Structure 1
Amino acid sequence: MKKYILTKAALLVFIITSAQTQEKLDTIYANDHKNVALFFPKAINQGITGAAHFIFTYNREKHQHFGLLQAKPGKESNLLVIGADGSVFSYILKYKEQLTRLNYFIPKAESIGKEKPVAMVSIKTSNSQKYLSDKEDYYRRFCSYLLSEKHRIGRIKKRKYRIILSVENIVFNKEELYFVIKIENRSGLDYDLNFLKLASETRKKGKKKSLQRLYQDPVFKYKMPTKIGKNKAVKIVYVLPKFSLSKERRAILELNEKDGERNLKLKVSHRFINNPN
């Protein structure tokens, strides 16, 4: 009889544990005075929140399985996490003053799908074209996704000649930085684009300080226009190899008009380059 009771108790524990494991998680609660830890089955490759009052932090340099979530009071939002194996997880985020749960161990079964991986084809003459095609296809899809997002990294904007140049977002993904750039033409004339270049330069200190500028070549450009009509706006994505800047340097975005003089230079602090989304 004693053996039967133990077996029955163990079975009951198994049933309860299984029910908890199978419970579908769709909403995660957080606040601004406690860290909520999310543990994923694979290392986190990217995590993006839909609003600035929700902050999800994770190790971007050394991929790890967990991230920390905090929130400030505000409307509900969402979290999108992509694992190292391409698994995609999506949750609703809500602010809650009193939390009853601080740790979430997320099973692989909660993945809503899989990001199409870049085919790691050996770079040989016969396969190089396929590799480049797959790589560009990945860039194109991820750039399209970024343009659909409303997440902002900060106020980075330059106005001149009724032309507005701004950097809306900087995202780190797969060893590359994605710059989401917006150009608005609020003038009465079309703007013919000559070039849009990104460089890093030494911050000028004193009259005798020489200015050193190093241009960064994008590996991919998405939705690059040749003309911006009057009272029109365009969004572009530049993909560049990952880089960082010291406190003595900053990034410069140069917009140049073809056969015109409406040229703009936008300064981007090293803080935004070193702390992308």
Structure 2
Amino acid sequence: MKRYLLTSIITCVFVFSNAQESIILDTIYANDQKNVALFFPEPIRQGITGSDNFVFTYNRDKEQYFGLLQAKPGKESNLLVINRNGAIFSYIVRYKEQLSKLNYFVPSASSIGNEKSVSVVPTVSKEEKSFDKSDYYLSACKYLVNRKLNSINLRERYQGIVLSIEHIVFDAEELYFVIQIKNTSTLDYNLNFLDLSVQTRQKGKKKSLQRSYQKPLFVHNRPTRIAENETVRMVYVLPKFSLSNDRRAVLELNEANGERNLKLKVSHRYINNPK
């Protein structure tokens, strides 16, 4: 029954595909030791694999933007995902013991077609677009802040306060900064601001620094106070940018009514080569 359903869905894909030509499918690797996360531009309405040795899980009660893929050793298969708006995404899935990629941010352009033929494109207001994007950011941030991934180990400490950037994750148009603040002191820490800026070193006899503030598109879980012996993790979503060799990013943490201020310098190589 499962194979018949999958065959029927695939038939619909070819009927309603936007491109009337053969499509080369991307390959996603998974195993039974780790979860591989797929983030989609719209909430997932349906996801199905063609073989029992692959499992794709997603929230069936409340539509969300991401699903998790796991695999057991066996022959390759395929994964078909349909978003809430009818967009169809199809992939070849294979088992691999060692995985080099655990997160896939799927752009709308990678859809192979739509399950419905659309003759009229509805007008969407800027407010509605912004709301939809915020939902996508929220789902991605919740996933990243609750996952333990290999840290890039960027940190700065001062008087019992430890500021660190654990991950910088790249999406099609954004960079996700996973930030951690740890208070190992005996005093609560009241946050005044936590800002990210880009500094450019000016050459010449009179060396100086020019700084430009990078405004986040979305901020998740930023606290106003960090109690003693408390650790807080948050995510800043910023528009994608790159840095030349003479520029660097600086994450600045400032204490309200206090002097425990920290500046964490981030080399251009971390910004230009995110995970």
**TM-score between the two structures when normalised by the length of structure 2:** 0.61
Secondary structure at the aligned position of 1:272 is classed as helix
Counterpart residue type for residue 80 of structure 1: A
Counterparts in 2 of 1:122 and 1:210: CA distance versus 1, 3 Å: farther
Secondary structure at the aligned position of 2:185 is classed as coil
Secondary structure at the aligned position of 1:159 is classed as strand
**1:65: Cα distance to partner?**
4.8
Counterparts in 2 of 1:218 and 1:83: CA distance versus 1, 3 Å: closer
Report if the CA contact (8 A) 2:191-2:223 is conserved.
yes
2 CA distance for matches of 1:210 and 1:249? 12
Matched, 1:276 2:247: no
Secondary structure at the aligned position of 2:208 is classed as coil
Report if the CA contact (8 A) 1:82-1:89 is conserved.
no
1 CA distance for matches of 2:155 and 2:168? 14
2 CA distance for matches of 1:65 and 1:226? 46
Counterpart residue type for residue 234 of structure 1: V
Counterparts in 2 of 1:206 and 1:256: CA distance versus 1, 3 Å: farther
Number of positions where the alignment pairs a residue of Structure 1 with one of Structure 2: 203
**1:68: Cα distance to partner?**
8.4
Report if the CA contact (8 A) 2:30-2:69 is conserved.
no
Counterparts in 2 of 1:181 and 1:204: CA distance versus 1, 3 Å: farther
Counterparts in 2 of 1:82 and 1:140: CA distance versus 1, 3 Å: closer
**1:219: Cα distance to partner?**
1.0
Q: Structure 1 residue aligned with 2:70, among 77, 91, 99?
A: 91
Counterpart residue type for residue 249 of structure 1: R
**1:133: Cα distance to partner?**
2.2
Which stretch of the first structure deviates more once superposed, 132-141 or 200-209?
200-209
Q: Structure 2 residue aligned with 1:262, among 254, 260, 268?
A: 260
Counterparts in 2 of 1:219 and 1:83: CA distance versus 1, 3 Å: closer
Q: Structure 1 residue aligned with 2:148, among 147, 150, 164?
A: 150
User: Equivalent residue for 1:107?
Assistant: 78
Matched, 1:80 2:37: yes
Report if the CA contact (8 A) 1:79-1:93 is conserved.
no
1:214-225 equivalent positions in 2, closer than 5 A: 214-225=212-223
**1:227: Cα distance to partner?**
0.8
2 CA distance for matches of 1:237 and 1:204? 31
User: Equivalent residue for 1:14?
Assistant: none
**1:203: Cα distance to partner?**
4.8
Q: Structure 1 residue aligned with 2:177, among 161, 164, 179?
A: 179
Report if the CA contact (8 A) 1:153-1:276 is conserved.
no
Report if the CA contact (8 A) 1:77-1:92 is conserved.
no
Report if the CA contact (8 A) 2:35-2:68 is conserved.
no
**1:270: Cα distance to partner?**
1.2
For the pair shown, the structure with the greater C-alpha radius of gyration is 1
Counterparts in 2 of 1:184 and 1:121: CA distance versus 1, 3 Å: farther
CA-based RMSD: 3.8
Counterpart residue type for residue 209 of structure 1: K
2 CA distance for matches of 1:115 and 1:175? 22
Report if the CA contact (8 A) 1:185-1:229 is conserved.
yes
1 CA distance for matches of 2:160 and 2:72? 39
**TM-score between the two structures when normalised by the length of structure 1:** 0.61
**1:241: Cα distance to partner?**
0.6
Which consecutive unaligned segments of at least 5 residues does structure 1 have? 1-17, 23-63, 95-99
Report if the CA contact (8 A) 1:176-1:239 is conserved.
yes
Which consecutive unaligned segments of at least 5 residues does structure 2 have? 8-23, 48-66, 88-106, 109-120
1 CA distance for matches of 2:224 and 2:168? 23
2 CA distance for matches of 1:140 and 1:121? 25
Report if the CA contact (8 A) 2:201-2:208 is conserved.
no
Counterparts in 2 of 1:227 and 1:142: CA distance versus 1, 3 Å: same
Secondary structure at the aligned position of 2:242 is classed as coil
Counterparts in 2 of 1:193 and 1:65: CA distance versus 1, 3 Å: farther
1 CA distance for matches of 2:175 and 2:237? 6
